[in-house]
Structure 1
Amino acid sequence: MNLLKIIVEKNNVIKTTSLFIIAIGIQRGINFLLAPIYTRILSLEEYGNLSAFMTWCSVFSVVFTLNLSNGSFNKAMSKYENDRARYLSSMTGLLFVSCLIGFLLILAFRYFFCYFSLSFLEIICLFISIYFQMVVFLYCSKIRYEHKAVLTFIVSLCYAITIPIVSLLIFIFICKNEIGIILGYSLSISLLGSSILIKILLSNSKMYYLPYWKYAFKFNFPLIPYYLSSVILGQFDRIMILEYCGKEYTAIYTIAYQLSLVLLIISSGIDSYITPIIYDYLKKGVFFKVKKITWISFYFSVFFIIFILSFTPEIIYIIGDKKYISASYIVPVVVLSTFFTFVNTFVLRLLFFYEIRIIVMVITSLSAILNCYLNFLTLPLYGYQAAAYTTAICYQIVLILNCVVLMFFDKNLFKTINVHFIIKLHLFLYILVYIQTQLLDKILFFRIMFFILIVWGLIKMYKVINSSFPEKIFK
Structure 2
Amino acid sequence: MQVFKNLVRKYRNFSAPAKASFWFVVSNVMLRGISFITLPLFSRLMTTEQYGEMSVYHSWISIFTIFTTLTLWGGVFNVVMVKNPDNQNKYIAAFQGLAITITAVFLAFSIIFETVSSSLLSLSPFLSVSVFVNILATIPFFLWSAKQRFAYKYKMLVAITVVTSVLNPLLGYFFVINTDRKAEARIFAELIVNCILGISFFLINLRNGKVFFDKAIWKYAFRFNVVLIPHYLSMQVLSQSDRLMINKICGSSDAGIYSVAYTFGMLLTLVTSGLESSTTPYIYKAIK
The alignment's TM-score, normalised by the length of structure 1, stands at 0.54
Alignment partner, residue 150 of structure 2? 145
Q: Which residue of the partner structure matches residue 419 of structure 1? A: none
Give the AA of the match of 1:177.
K
**1:20 maps to what in 2?**
24
**Alpha-carbon offset, residue 114 of structure 1:** 2.0
Alignment partner, residue 132 of structure 2: 127
- Quote the Cα distance in structure 2 between the aligned partners of 1:170 and 1:9: 45
Are the counterparts in 2 of residues 86 and 204 from structure 1 also a CA contact under 8 Å?
yes
2: CA distance between counterparts of 1:112 and 1:236? 20
Counterpart contact for 2:179–2:185, Cα < 8 Å: yes
1:38 pairs with one of 16, 37, 42: 42
- Note the 1:30-429 alignment, pairs <5 A: 30-107=34-111, 109-115=113-119, 116-173=121-178, 177-269=182-274, 271=276
For 1:146 and 1:161, the matched residues in 2 are separated by: 26
For residue 266 of structure 1, give the secondary structure of its aligned residue in structure 2: helix
Kindly provide the amino acid, as one letter, of the partner of residue 115 in structure 2. Answer: Y
Contact 1:139–1:196 (8 Å) recurs in 2:
yes
Q: CA deviation at 1:81?
A: 1.0
Which 5+ residue runs of structure 2 have no aligned equivalent? Answer: 1-11
For 1:154-208, what per-residue CA distance to the aligned partner results, in whole angstroms no more than 9, with x for missing partners? 2333343333333233223456610101101111101111111112222233111
Contact 1:170 1:181 in 2 (8 A): yes
Q: Which residue of 1 aligns with 2:9?
A: none
Give the aligned residue type for 1:89: A
One-letter identity of the residue aligned with 1:96? I
State the percentage of identical aligned residues: 27
CA contact (8 A) 1:49 1:178 kept: yes
Relative to 1, partners in 2 of residues 1:257 and 1:207: Cα closer, same or farther, differing over 3 Å?
Answer: same
On the 8 A contact 2:24/2:274 being kept in 1, the answer is: no
Q: Which amino acid aligns with 2:81?
A: M
Classify 1:255/1:25 alpha carbon distance in 2 versus 1 (closer, same or farther; 3 Å): same
1:159 and 1:192 in contact (8 A); partners too: no
The AA in structure 2 aligned to 1:79 is K
Q: Which has the larger radius of gyration?
A: 1
User: Whole-Å Cα distance in 1 between the matches of residues 201 and 23 of structure 2?
Assistant: 19
Question: What is the rounded CA distance, in whole Å, between the counterparts of 1:67 and 1:33 in structure 2?
Answer: 28
Change (3 A) 1:20 1:174: farther
- TM-aligned CA distance change 1:91 to 1:126, over 3 Å: same
Distance 1:194 1:11 in 2: 34
Q: Distance in 2 between matches of 1:208 and 1:104?
A: 20
What amino acid is aligned across from residue 180 of structure 1 in structure 2? A
Q: Summarize deviations over 1:255-286 as a string: whole Å, max 9, x none.
A: 11011232112333454577799x69xx9xxx
The amino acid that maps onto 2:124 is S
Partners of 1:167 and 1:185 within 8 A in 2:
yes
Deviation per CA, 1:31-54: give whole Å up to 9, x if none.
Answer: 111111111111111111111111
Aligned amino acid, residue 240 of structure 1: M
Matching residue's letter, 2:73: S
Aligned equivalent of 1:441: none
**Partner AA of 2:145 in structure 1:** C
TM-score, normalized by length of structure 2?
0.86
Query: How far apart are the structure 2 equivalents of 1:74 and 1:275?
Result: 8
Q: Is the 8 A contact 1:140 1:156 kept in 2?
A: no
154-163 or 253-262, which deviates more: 154-163
> What residue in structure 2 maps to residue 407 of structure 1?
none
SS at match of 1:259: helix
Moved over 6 A (4+): 273-277
| Deviation, structure 1 residue 112 | 3.5
**Alignment length (residue pairs):** 274
